[in-house]
A and B are shown apart, each in its own frame.
Chain A
Amino acid sequence: MENELKVPTMAELFAAGQQPEVLFWVGCAGSFDDRAKKITKAFVKILNKANVSFAVLGTEESCTGDPAKRAGNEFLFQMQAVTNIEVLNAYEVKKVVTACPHCFNTLKNEYPGLGGNYEVVHHTQFLKQLLEEGRISVEGGQFKGKKITFHDPCYLGRANNVYEAPRDLIRKLDAELVEMKNCKKRGLCCGAGGAQMFKEPEKGKKDINVERTEQALETQPDIIAAGCPFCNTMLTDGVKNKEKESSVVVMDIAELIAMAEDL
């Protein structure tokens, strides 16, 4: 029987007069999407193992408003933002970690203008820091000889210039990091950004996720690593489309680290 996850909420800690080190912003995908929930759990397992004092908002969390804003609904975005900021400020949140680059970007860049000022980090940055501080250790054994390619999420990479944290973590796994022809600043989008996740694509000759998956498969990887729940979905669909699901898996960096820790 697996250890049960310890997931304290801000409300519980607040009632007990405690303040966690960091708030884990789970996000909508991380809360509701079956694939993304696995990423959420893997990340929580690592946090539990490292004894990180954290909390989630739970039922008090609501969409950051990112998809509404990118779809052009600034009004809905700001309604969401102002409501979330009220909750975050009431709990005197100082630091936020999230496994979703869209939440990361919105919280970090677009909330300050509306009164929400927090130190916001992506979970790959947070994990890297835990590793550097010796709070987690990674045995790369089971990844030895495996080829991993990393897909840069647009809202982590180009949007916020975070390219190295996820790559540093992959290198720690003793795996061979192979780069796609379009990577880092020139990484190709998975096709989900700008609210595309929630609509059918416009007419064209190909789907973007298939194009990106083809670029990933060119590197002959065993694992396609992602750092975003939406990229994960898009690439997983792409791998299925190319009928490669028996030989290639799409995994989040948090899942790789959790696996390396045997969690």
Chain B
Amino acid sequence: MDYIPNIIFAIILFGGIVFFASNVKKLTRNIKLGKDVDTSDNKSQRWNNMFRIALGQTKMVVRPIPGILHIIVYLGFIIINIEVLEIIIDGLFGTHRIFSFFGGFYSFLIGSFEILALLVIVAVVIFWIRRNVIKLRRFLNPEMSGWPKKDGNLILYIELVLMVLFLTMNASDYQLQQMEAAHYTKAGAFPVSQFIAPLFQEMSMSAIIMIERTAWWLHIVGILMFLNYLYYSKHLHILLAFPNTYFGKLKPKGQFENLDAVTKEVRLMMDPSADPFAAPDENAPIPEKFGASDVMDLKWVQLLNAYTCTECGRCTSECPASQTGKKLSPRKIMMDTRDRLEEVGRNIDTNKGEFVPDGKQLLGDYISHEELWACTSCNACVEACPVSIDPLSIIMDMRQYLVMEQSAAPSDLNNMMGNIENNGAPWPFNQMDRLNWSKES
């Protein structure tokens, strides 16, 4: 009968991992709905970006206060995960603090986890205050009402609870070690939880064991639940920031891609030997749609961008259109792309792997024309993103659809384009007058 907890543990662990794997599968399937793009170039620069931007958090500290607090939480979670490894081994094999044979080094590890856990608690509390008491402007945009706001707070609560459970577990363990309880080998250093331990002094040994076991179980079950919460949350960035920075844009920010499909047509138009009356080839594939009106028209990297976005809003707070009260918010562009992609994914799930048109699309149902036309293409959002997301590329792809598929540009822009077409300048001046300035005094 001694094995029952181990079996229960194994089942919970297995269940948690299987469920997570099924969500990862769904996630990759959805991302692959995007168009293919070759990212096999410049491997060393891509690795370098990932190390610098995701692992090194270099762009987080552009804003020092949230940047440093974020690094604390980030380090806390990465380093405290070494402890999770021990918990898993202990849980599976019924051991207790299996790594304690490291001796002094183990004490050092546990000691530093505790200090980090305390710092994480402090950081999480400050984050909560920034969101709910100080009410920073970037957390108050319209797209942040409802679920996104709840999601943000929920993540903070979960992190807080996990850290408190970790410290409670250690505190009760420390108390049991002092009482020389069987099974509780003297190991570890408890620079933080030793101050919690006195709370348990009056209790019976069995009560403390109860507390220790409860905290231990809730902590590991909590971590597994948190892992599976990711897919339903903006918090996916803790995993996707790494691939996203790897696949991020390497070219100069001002360089927008030239559409190959258009190049083909332009070359054909300019080719004097092309037969203008040639009958179209009946077997020719249906011409590709120009630009994007829905998520399937975007490239998979743009869809990965959407899942990576953690809604921090640095893009929107740097956006000149947003700053001056226009409807555009680059963060909303990313959130809309993700929400629509999720909708398409659910559609595929319910229709046995096939997308059945639902009469909706990203353009219009999620992102309005007004938002798209407010962009100045200044790249402030791209520069601001700490994980290399490119909202501008989605805006530009959708403008292409509006102009080339629907001729739905604002009339001023139609005039401008007409001028370029007719006289080679955005204004109605004759090309033959281009050099007149040189003769004017």
Contact = CB atoms under 8 A, between A and B. Distances in A.
A194 B417 contact: no
A196 interface: yes
B326 A186 contact: no
Interface centre among A62, A71, A158, A193 (most CB of B within 10 A): A71
A63 B424 contact: yes
A1 to B, nearest CB: 9
What is the interface residue range for chain B against chain A? Answer: 35 or more
A179 B174 CA distance: 56
B425 A59 contact: no
Nearest to B290: A74
B209 to A, nearest CB: 56
Contacts of A75: 262, 265-266, 290, 404
A188 B320 contact: yes
A40 B265 CA distance: 35
A204 B251 CA distance: 32
Given A32-B427, A113-B258, A211-B320, A202 B399 contact: no
A26 B32 CA distance: 44
Interface stretch (A78-86, A131-139, A169-177, A239-247): A78-86
B291 A68 contact: no
Q: Pick from B251, B421, B431, B437 the residue with the most CB of A within 10 Å.
A: B437
Interface string B380-412: 101110000000000010111111100001101
A43 to B, nearest CB: 11
Interface stretch (A2-10, A142-150, A218-226, A250-258): A2-10
Contact of A58 (B424, B426, B435): B435
Given A68-B420, A194-B377, A204 B270 contact: no
Contact of B255 (A28, A109, A188): A109
A63 B376 contact: no
Interface string A102-118: 00010011100110000
Contacts of B328: 202
Interface in B419-441: 420-421, 424-427, 429, 431-438, 440-441
A199 B267 CA distance: 30
Interface stretch (B159-167, B226-234, B331-339, B367-375): B367-375
B415 interface: yes
B403 to A, nearest CB: 4
A110 B255 contact: yes
A74 B409 CA distance: 13
Nearest to A111: B258
A70 interface: yes
Given A198-B413, A205-B325, A28 B425 contact: yes
B253 interface: yes
A208 B324 contact: yes
Interface in B34-91: none
Contact of A186 (B318, B370, B436): B318
A58 to B, nearest CB: 4
A240 to B, nearest CB: 18
A154 interface: yes
Given A72-B409, A78-B263, A67 B434 contact: no
Contacts, number: 219
Which of B382, B416, B420, B432 gathers most chain A CB within 10 Å? B420
Contacts of B377: 70, 154, 193-195
A209 B57 CA distance: 33
A44 interface: yes
Contacts of A197: 426
B404 to A, nearest CB: 6
B362 to A, nearest CB: 15
Chain B contact residues, majority secondary structure = helix
A109 B252 contact: yes
Contact of B412 (A9, A78, A161, A198): A198
A76 interface: yes
B422 to A, nearest CB: 11
A34 to B, nearest CB: 9
Contacts of A37: 437, 440
Nearest to B251: A109
A195 B431 CA distance: 20
Nearest to A2: B441
Given A109-B251, A188-B320, A154 B266 contact: no
B440 A201 contact: no
A198 B412 CA distance: 6
Contact of B434 (A59, A68, A159, A191): A59
Give the residue among A58, A188, A195 with the most B Cβ atoms within 10 A: A195
Nearest to B379: A158
Interface string B231-268: 00000000000000000000111111011001101110
A79 B413 contact: no
Nearest to B406: A72
B327 interface: yes
A71 B417 contact: yes
B321 interface: yes
B323 interface: yes
B325 A194 contact: no
B415 A194 contact: no
12 contacts: A7-B435, A59-B434, A63-B426, A72-B291, A74-B400, A78-B258, A78-B262, A189-B320, A189-B376, A192-B376, A199-B410, A205-B325
Please provide the 10 A-B residue pairs with the shortest distance between their CB atoms, ordered closest to farther: A159-B254, A72-B399, A194-B377, A205-B325, A62-B424, A109-B255, A189-B378, A204-B325, A72-B403, A199-B412
Given A74-B290, A75-B265, A207-B324, 16 more contacts: A31-B433, A59-B431, A59-B434, A62-B431, A65-B420, A67-B417, A68-B420, A71-B399, A73-B400, A80-B424, A154-B254, A154-B378, A158-B378, A158-B382, A189-B376, A194-B375
Interface of B: 251-256, 258-259, 262-263, 265-267, 269-270, 290-291, 318, 320-321, 323-328, 370, 373-380, 382-384, 396, 398-404, 409-410, 412-413, 415-417, 420-421, 424-427, 429, 431-438, 440-441
